[in-house]
Amino acid sequence: MPIRLRYLLLIVAAVIITGCKQNKVRPIPVEVFFKTPEKTNFKISPDGNYISYLKPYKGKQNIFIRSLVNGAESRATQFTDYSVRDYTWTFNNRIVFTQDIIAIDQFRVYTLDVATMKYDSLLTLNNTRMRIINRNRQQPDMVTVAMNKRDPVNFDVYRLNVKTGELKLYLPNPGNIIKWYPDADGRIRLVKVSDGVNESLMFRPDDSSPFKTIITNNFNDRVEPIAFAGETNSFYALSNVNRDKTALVEMDAENGQQERVVFASDKADLMDVGYSKNKQRIEYVGWDEAKPQKHYLDAAIAHMYNKLEAVIKDYKVDIVDRDSNENKFVIVGYTDKNPGTYYLYERNKDKLTKLGDVNPEINSTELCDMRPVTFNASDGTLINGYLTTPQGKEAKNLPVVVMPHDNIWGRNSWGYDAEVQFLANRGYAVFQVNYRGSAGYGKAFRKAGFKQVGGKIQQDITDGVKWLIAQKVANPKKIAIFGGGFGGFSALYGVSFHPEMYNCAIVKYGLINFFTYLKDAPPFFKPFLKMTYEMVGNPETDADQLRAISPVFHTDKIKSPLLIFQGAKDPRANISELNQFVRELKKRNVPVIYRLKENERAYFKSEHNRMEMYAEIEKFLNTNMQVKP
């Protein structure tokens, strides 16, 4: 063989080998995707002197604090039993934080003095829930909280002294208040009341005046206050009254009349609002199309965002916190392939400093694009969704995992999703459908999902799978369905009523019986039951329909292999009913694997339990989809 030809063949072989190696996708370990975040929930103190964040210590999330004065960084808490659940700064350089003691259903509230790095117990709440409404600059020792301490059904509003733990009733709930809206000084001047179907906004000019009704609408017509507009009695709100898509409006609190439309999009509901407490004005509005969008209403904030996006290139950028002077900002940049990187931006210095990554082990070059897709349902309705296909493979004849979203009236949005990326890394295309009823697409689209939880909503998912098959993306013999909550119901519905379509189903904290789901609702959910009856179904008047779709009554229809995960402390789960459901399936020789975890609610907080769960999901899919690991 001539020497020149020999060299040419060697070069060709080298190129082929290199190309094969480049197309070889590394299986990223399960623990990389699902470990406890390295650093997350960054916040800044009101005086701008401290940055705080949550970071694992001995496997549990704890509060860490970094001084922006001298750079000192230290761990402020050292819990090893349960993680810090959430926290907020007060105006006296204290932090109020909570723990959910799952084993005994106890909620603990603490206060941390940042000057001494000592923390004390403020409240211990048994079978009680609490949320912080706001902090008060004029009374820095006080935070306003909503709590169902007096009555498990109704939340009252209290003032909590974060130094002494003293709790004073501020606004008792007569039994119909479902939301409270404070002004800049912490006074509750607007409330939303509901009879279960109709909602009213009530206003008072000050604490000594009675509330009076200014607006009443059916729950389909939404007016959601955002903030008061300066020192006036006008307020900004998101509203879809007399329109299909939710817009930002300004309203007169004295009479409930709309004064003007600040901004509206004909493409989607506005769902996000940026507000400056210093200027007491709206900075931007945001909404979801294929990707998140923003429209700026403040020139200074538009300039700042444009500057940040030029530096943090190809990332979506959001402000997550700011100091009282609105000079120092905590910024997060994220993509569909990066769970987030946090930065400190100092506006007066025009300085950007990296604070930390949510997961520094994630290498975005190894992950997969989340691609927006659209298709027409069988009745012609346009449905949106997302398709994520594995690297190194043509989007043809792929094994597919269908992932219906959890909250019926929620949605999938573009961004990082660890489950999606994990499955795509393992060679599966992941298909997410924003079926009718999903948020963000307008009032008519949302109402089209009413009483369709087992009807057109499920048909949209089915039509989406058929569309993927018609597009030659999906291998029709290798399709699985995987979901949590309502997504878990959709998975069980799929294998019950379309057994020919799915090889197997994976269910996390799944909804198996709409009767017990509605009957066993937590006490504080009771004010929303009538509305839920309108949207999902009434157990009395729609009993036949709910029975026809609830998986617990259709074990005879299920043949496909199932993998079921459930936390024993999930407040929305009827564990005895789920146990019986699994026993009935096993009696019928359905291949079912059932993992009930103690001391877990719906979402598994234990890192060990999460790792076991996703390792088992990988093995289950490999077995039933016959895809090589």
Quote the tokens at residue 18.
Answer: 């290199």
Domain C-terminal end among 297, 315, 346? 297
pLDDT tens per residue across span 36-54: 999 999 999 999 999 999 9
Is residue 575 one of the residues assigned to a domain? yes
Same domain, 618 and 503: yes
**Residue 147 in this model has a pLDDT that exceeds 70:** yes
Is residue 377 one of the residues assigned to a domain? yes
Is residue 50 one of the residues assigned to a domain? no
Same domain, 587 and 492: yes
**Residue 13 in this model has a pLDDT that exceeds 60:** no
**Residue 7 in this model has a pLDDT that exceeds 80:** no
Instruction: State the pairing for strand pair 247-252/40-44.
Output: unpaired
Is residue 53 one of the residues assigned to a domain? no
Same domain, 428 and 511: yes
**Section 304-310 average pLDDT:** 97
Contacts of 243 (CB under 8 A, 6+ apart): 264, 443
**Alpha-carbon torsion angle 303, 304, 307, 312, nearest 10:** -150
**Residue 421 in this model has a pLDDT that exceeds 60:** yes
**Section 396-400 average pLDDT:** 98
Output phi, psi for 491, to 5 deg: -65, -45
- The DSSP symbol for 253 reads T
Compute CA distances 161 → 23, 86, 123, 434, whole Å.
60, 18, 11, 44
- Confidence band, pLDDT 50/70/90 cuts, at residue 526: confident
**Section 186-194 average pLDDT:** 95
Q: What is the pLDDT of residue 627?
A: 61
**Section 163-168 average pLDDT:** 94
- The DSSP symbol for 528 reads G
**Section 575-593 average pLDDT:** 98
How far apart (Å, rounded) are the C-alpha atoms in residues 511 and 34?
24
- Confidence band, pLDDT 50/70/90 cuts, at residue 6: low
Is residue 168 one of the residues assigned to a domain? no
**Residue 277 in this model has a pLDDT that exceeds 70:** yes
**Section 494-500 average pLDDT:** 97
Is residue 317 one of the residues assigned to a domain? no
Q: Which residue has the tokens 């069988």?
A: 378
Q: What is the pLDDT of residue 487?
A: 98
Neighbours of 450 (CB within 10 A): 18
Percent of the chain with pLDDT over 70: 96
Compute CA distances 9 → 14, 22, 23, whole Å.
9, 20, 21
Q: Are 309 and 317 in contact (CB under 8 A)?
A: yes
Domain C-terminal end among 281, 297, 313? 297
Contacts of 75 (CB under 8 A, 6+ apart): 55, 57, 62, 63, 64
Domain C-terminal end among 246, 264, 297? 297
How far, in whole angstroms, is CA 260 from its chain's centroid? Answer: 31
Quote the tokens at residue 592.
Answer: 């079912």
**Section 170-191 average pLDDT:** 94
Instruction: State the pairing for strand pair 281-288/223-228.
Output: unpaired
- CATH classification of the domain holding 583: 3.40.50.1820
Quote the tokens at residue 524.
Answer: 């504080």
Same domain, 270 and 401: no
Q: What is the pLDDT of residue 20?
A: 38
**Section 154-181 average pLDDT:** 96
**Residue 106 in this model has a pLDDT that exceeds 80:** yes
Q: What is the mean pLDDT of the chain?
A: 94
**Section 316-345 average pLDDT:** 98
**Residue 441 in this model has a pLDDT that exceeds 70:** yes
**Residue 628 in this model has a pLDDT that exceeds 80:** no
- Confidence band, pLDDT 50/70/90 cuts, at residue 2: low
**Residue 501 in this model has a pLDDT that exceeds 80:** yes
Q: Are 51 and 330 in contact (CB under 8 A)?
A: yes
**Domain range holding 223?**
176-297
Radius of gyration of the chain measured on its C-alpha atoms: 26
User: Number of helices and strands (H, E) in the chain?
Assistant: 12, 35
Compute CA distances 28 → 197, 424, 548, 622, whole Å.
48, 11, 42, 16
Q: What is the pLDDT of residue 185?
A: 86
Contacts of 110 (CB under 8 A, 6+ apart): 96, 97, 98, 99, 119, 120, 121, 122
Q: What is the pLDDT of residue 23?
A: 57
Same domain, 264 and 377: no
Contacts of 80 (CB under 8 A, 6+ apart): 57, 58, 59, 60
Strand partners, 357: 341
Percent of the chain with pLDDT over 90: 92
Structural domains of the chain, count: 2
How far apart (Å, rounded) are the C-alpha atoms in residues 355 and 331?
9
Is residue 65 one of the residues assigned to a domain? no
**Alpha-carbon torsion angle 289, 292, 298, 300, nearest 10:** -150
- Confidence band, pLDDT 50/70/90 cuts, at residue 230: confident
Quote the tokens at residue 576.
Answer: 């005895």
Contacts of 497 (CB under 8 A, 6+ apart): 458, 557
- Confidence band, pLDDT 50/70/90 cuts, at residue 629: very low
Q: Are 105 and 126 in contact (CB under 8 A)?
A: yes
Q: Which residue has the higher pLDDT, 27 or 525?
A: 27
Is residue 277 one of the residues assigned to a domain? yes
